[in-house]
Structure 1
């Protein structure tokens, strides 16, 4: 009888201590989710090396993470194309697609959208793991406060440049610019993987010259050679920006982007 009771107690404790396995596709989302799960679990980052979020091949270790996950949070199948097939075989109840209704998939660059995501993640976690609901809710409150403060700080820092003329190599930074009240930029390519034809380059250079564009922004995937070709003959500053921030947490990533934009506009 004693042995049965002891075994039952051990089983209960093991069950009580079990927490969900949460996997996030990219670092900015992983950072946000980590702030919600703090004190309960550490989510796993799927793309944890300097590789393209658009084009990658899953390794056995990554497939294992997905297989054992209770919750998988990804941007969108069209963004992480390497996940399209494997996620199509995962129960939708085990997934959060961040940009299910958003065409431009770089939504983590809009802090307000990340505040909304934090609520979605918290609600999902409480359904999966109700025993830790109080902690998730407390973490959500703290996360929302930090994100609100960050949003205000960044908008204030950029307020001086709201009338500045900006160009972007692709639409990757549109969420950041729009959410912070900056002018609609000249966009050379809708996607950074698009081919820059002679026609596109000439059209963009003409527009930048007429508008007296002060700054051309691009992501680090765009080579310096492509940027030099685009701005040759123009008096314009440029900035190649890391929008993933593999080695920093979300608040620092957004602060780094802000400082690079400001330096480009000075």
Structure 2
């Protein structure tokens, strides 16, 4: 059986004898010993120096407190109007009947857009409750306008109309798609607090993911339907309800 204690004692005796006869070897052994100590202390030194700088922690606290303050301010401003955060709004939910692409003749579309834009003055807008609600929504919330179109011509029509008459919305956040799945995909990516659309298929699907889902549909009863979706006959009635909630 190997007795390690005896072996280690013999090794130490040999090293001591050798270093006594060779002073230079003794210095080398001391250097090796100090190196072993330093290497052993490295993990502890790394832990000490990796601690966060108090000034950086204070900066992070200030940043986080600033962000929370901004969120609270945004929430409070939104709550004053009954809405807050991101909103996905189908353009066909607030456009007038005569502004819809399918209700206009092809030859008169461009001329009609110009007439609509030019006939709307600031005084008219101030007296138009629908426009007031739209402007307040654009001011208080992060609004994304979603339009389902069937052709490039229809897209160009709505693009011109929205920019000329409803220019208070961010043109970068006017999104076009060709299918219901496209509308749903946009909403899922945006992750809004409020969705306003015009068809049951879209609202039913969105209700699976979001609580704030509303639908604009003619002859609606201005109440929740069988799918627990708030359903109103026009945009003005819906906004009047939401701002009072």
TM-score scaled to structure 2, two decimals?
A: 0.34
1 or 2 for the larger relative contact order (CA 8 Å, sep ≥6)? 2
**Greater Cα radius of gyration, structure 1 or 2:** 2
Higher helix share: 2
